[in-house]
Amino acid sequence: MKVILAKNAGFCMGVRRAVEATLDLVRKDDRIATYGPLIHNPQVLDLLAERGVEVLKEIPDQRQGTVIIRAHGVPPERKAKLAASGARIYDATCPRVLKVQAIISRHRKEGCGTIIIGDRNHAEVEGLLGYAGAAGQVVSNEAEARSITVSEPYIIVSQTTQDDPSFELLSGIILARFPDGRVFNTICDSTHKRQAAVLELCDQVQAMVVVGGKVSANTKRLAEIVEKKGKPVFLVETEAELDIASLARFDCVGVTAGASTPSWMINRVVQALEAIPGQDEGPLTPFLLRLLALLMASNLYVALGGGVLASSVDLLMGRACAPEHFVMVSCYLFAMHNLNRYSGSGLGRFSDPLRERFWRRYGGPLLGISWLALGLSLWLAYRYPGYSASILAVMSLCGVLYSVRFIPRKVAEVIGVKRLKEIPGSKTFFVAMAWAFVIIVVPLYGRGEGWNQANLAAFVFVLLLVYVRSALYDVFEVQGDRIVGKETLPVCIGRDKTLRLLYGLMVILVLLLAGGPLSGVLPVAWAALLPAVGYLFAVAWLYAREKLSYSTRLEFAVDSVFPIIAGLTTLVSLLS
């Protein structure tokens, strides 16, 4: 089935800000609570509860630790009462909601009443009423708009997640009866864009799936917009709620999501939909999708990618392409990626749920195959003269120890980490270093060669290329990694700063591939790899601008940089 994801779907700025702030506070304080549900998504709230975040329904007389004010905001008197309880207050109110609160407060001082167009029992509306005081009223439908009474100057504002047609209709009815009111369209930009994207997508698909909490006002509003367009709509919280039988009638389905829906939940739904055969699809397409999922979940594709990268480096350096080198590298990478995945099993259910399910089903056999692959790679390294096998053995030990608690307790108390994986941002660096060692260093010593400028440049190329590849995966999984407490580079410095860093590293790769041959440090053939770096840059750039969404296909696209390098290298060797 063809699945099209709406251009604007999932966490809005205010929700992302609230969730990320909460997770940052969890790392610093073990007494975290939110006043009311932080956002309207039960799955996210369950995950926060697993991290120890308590939800306060009432304001206690005394409270220790930090209390977070929910993204929807609260009335000012409740905020004051929370502060009086002795708790540290962190205000995670969405900036768009704060703007509405400020508008109401300013006009209240001028003697104006406030009419709020929105859902009467919604948390945001309750908070806004607190700022409006006794002169605040709520209008939720046409009947209320026609029966409302106004006895003073007034303003009209909107709940930030209201839809434009309803706001214009209801405010128009009120103004027709009481023409002296001032209207402030306070629907946030994210809501505007989300609703516009849904309307546009409805013209391209046969049905629409809306993902989000059943109590989320903006999620339900998206479903209502689809219904008004006359399209079949399926409102689900998780992929388990998909009506597979009904959806199988369609060839092309659109997916959108409420502002409180995290990316990993959207990914689950998209991947489940893609696995449904469309009416015009034969059995080949679902088979290919399952094969793709198998290649990615088992780390077989990336391991083979490492092997072809090693062979490409040999060819570019003017050496014979040894099959033993390809097999050794592929087996080693297959083993280490899987062994580390197994040791971290259970944490991927948010950032990478499909892989996690795969590991729950096939983890045992795959683990056995991985140990056999590691043994084969060590045996092949042993066949090299010199210290190749010793180097690979030490690397393997370090790789296994990466996820194992081996640092003595007293030392761990001093440095603050119990295992290597707890060092912030370390995973990406260690993965890249392992690739560079097995591709460059192990055979280098096996051939009895010394270090020279060309070998050093090749080492730097592999290190930077794999670092960019691995860090892109971290960018894709940043929301799930935050939930489980992984301190990857994007979690530590943010998604945008990480992407800027990766763009900079890709510029260095371009300079290396262009300057190396010009200066005579590298053979001229290395310049042929410039399109591969351009390809990787394009994937990152398109993702950053939300032209690509995270999926198994995107992972496949990133790791396809290695076959592209192999293709470019083969072409150069044939032409030379």
Q: How far is the C-alpha of 20 from the C-alpha of 528, rounded, in Å?
A: 42
> What single DSSP character describes residue 206?
S
Strand order through the sheet with 182-183: 136-139, 113-117, 154-158, 182-183
**Total length of the chain:** 576
CA–CA distance from 480 to each of 20, 47, 352, 429 (Å)? Answer: 11, 10, 8, 20
Q: Kindly report the CA angle at 393 between 388 and 396, in degrees rounded to 5?
A: 125
SS3 295: helix
Of 124, 477, 487, 555, the active-site residue reads 124
Structure tokens at 336: 């280490």
For residues 296 and 552, the answer to whether their CB atoms sit within 8 Å is: yes
Q: How far is the C-alpha of 274 from the C-alpha of 289, rounded, in Å?
A: 8
The DSSP secondary structure of 296-356, one letter per residue, reads HHTTHHHHHHHHHHHHHHHHHTT----HHHHHHHHHHHHHHHHHHHHHTTTSHHHH-HHHH
Residue 182 bridge partners (DSSP): 155
Structure tokens at 92: 């995670």
CA–CA distance from 542 to each of 255, 504, 546 (Å)? Answer: 19, 16, 6
Q: How far is the C-alpha of 138 from the C-alpha of 168, rounded, in Å?
A: 15
* Amino acid, res. 534: G
Is 124 catalytic? The answer is yes
The DSSP secondary structure of 552-563, one letter per residue, reads HHHHHHHHTHHH
Q: What is the 3-state composition of the chain as percent helix, strand, coil, each rounded to the nearest 5?
A: 65, 10, 30
Residue 136 bridge partners (DSSP): 114
Q: How far is the C-alpha of 305 from the C-alpha of 311, rounded, in Å?
A: 10
* Amino acid, res. 449: E
The DSSP secondary structure of 517-562, one letter per residue, reads HHHTSS-GGGGGGHHHHHHHHHHHHHHHTTSS--SHHHHHHHHTHH
Q: Kindly report the CA angle at 260 between 254 and 265, in degrees rounded to 5?
A: 55
CA–CA distance from 483 to each of 95, 133, 478 (Å)? Answer: 23, 38, 9
For residues 513 and 526, the answer to whether their CB atoms sit within 8 Å is: yes
What is the set of active-site residues? 124
